[in-house]
Amino acid sequence: MFGKKNGRVESLLYSADRAKILEMVRKMGVMASDAFSKAIKALETRDDVMADEVIRDDDDIDDLEAAIDDECLSSIAMRQPVREDLRFVFAVLKIITDLERIGDQGVNIAKKAKMLNQYPLLKPLVDIPRMRTIAAEMVADSLRSFEENDAALAEDICRRDEELDVLYDNIFDELLVIIANKPAGDRATAQCAAGLIWVARHLARIGDHATNVAERVYFMVKGERLKPLIEEEKKKNASKNRKSPA
């Protein structure tokens, strides 16, 4: 009887730990998403002060990652977590690594924005803000899939990553044409085009990190790797397309 009662107490205590950790992860996700969203806004509005804020605030994201790490390890040490709770903790430890790297990508974009803000824009920003919106939605939904143990949403996020890749390829191709057609000796155009390519690349990497989070959620819920399933689906679709009449 005492063992059962003690087990219930441990379960209640771990539920409180879990709620606290979830709240901290949610906060870190918001901070990481805000970082790259503000960095893109700094580029759109030519605001170096905002870019500097993103760079400065990165330490807060790193500090929160360390705090979550400590909370997870403390929870394991003080409680007697069952297998499900351990899966949750180990997923958190991996997810916060991806969130920290998303914050780093925001810093990278902010630094590129400060460089690009020294020159007139080569072209109106259309696809880059679109990438920012998709990436922000992917990050938010990946964390929601984690909180709700939603494998279907995690699967959907992984498929959305292709949208970012297509936009990145479009931006890359368009800016390569601008570089190729620049007047001889025009180094500024080449530098700005390369800077925008890097901004798009950083956004694509943010999508990759959101996908990583979603894949961890899928494995946590289903016990299966999601990436091989999606790759197999792509191969089947490609095979169907090749066989279908023109």
Q: What are the tens digits of pLDDT across the range 177-196?
A: 999 998 887 889 999 999 99
**Is residue 242 in a domain?**
no
pLDDT at 11: 52
What value does the mean pLDDT take over residues 93-98?
96
**Is residue 70 in a domain?**
yes
What value does the mean pLDDT take over residues 30-46?
97
Phi/psi at 21 (5° precision): -65, -45
Is the model's pLDDT at 15 over the cut of 80?
Answer: no
Counting the structural domains of the chain, the total is: 1
What is the C-alpha to C-alpha distance for residues 25 and 218, in angstroms, rounded to an integer?
18
CB contact set of 176 (below 8 Å; sequence gap of 6+): 193
Q: Which domain holds residue 187?
A: 2-231
**Is residue 88 in a domain?**
yes
Q: Which of 18-32, 80-94, 105-119, 157-171 has the lowest mean pLDDT?
A: 80-94
**Is residue 138 in a domain?**
yes
Closest C-alpha among 229, 65, 213, 243 to residue 153: 213
CB contact set of 173 (below 8 Å; sequence gap of 6+): none
Instruction: Please compute Rg for the chain using Cα positions.
Output: 22
Instruction: Look up the CATH number of the domain holding residue 165.
Output: 1.20.58.220
**Is residue 19 in a domain?**
yes
**Is residue 171 in a domain?**
yes
Q: Are 72 and 17 in contact (CB under 8 A)?
A: no
What value does the mean pLDDT take over residues 34-40?
98
Cα 24-29-32 angle, rounded to 5 deg: 125
What value does the mean pLDDT take over residues 144-151?
94
Residues of the chain with pLDDT > 90, as a percent, come to: 67
**Is residue 180 in a domain?**
yes
**Is residue 13 in a domain?**
yes
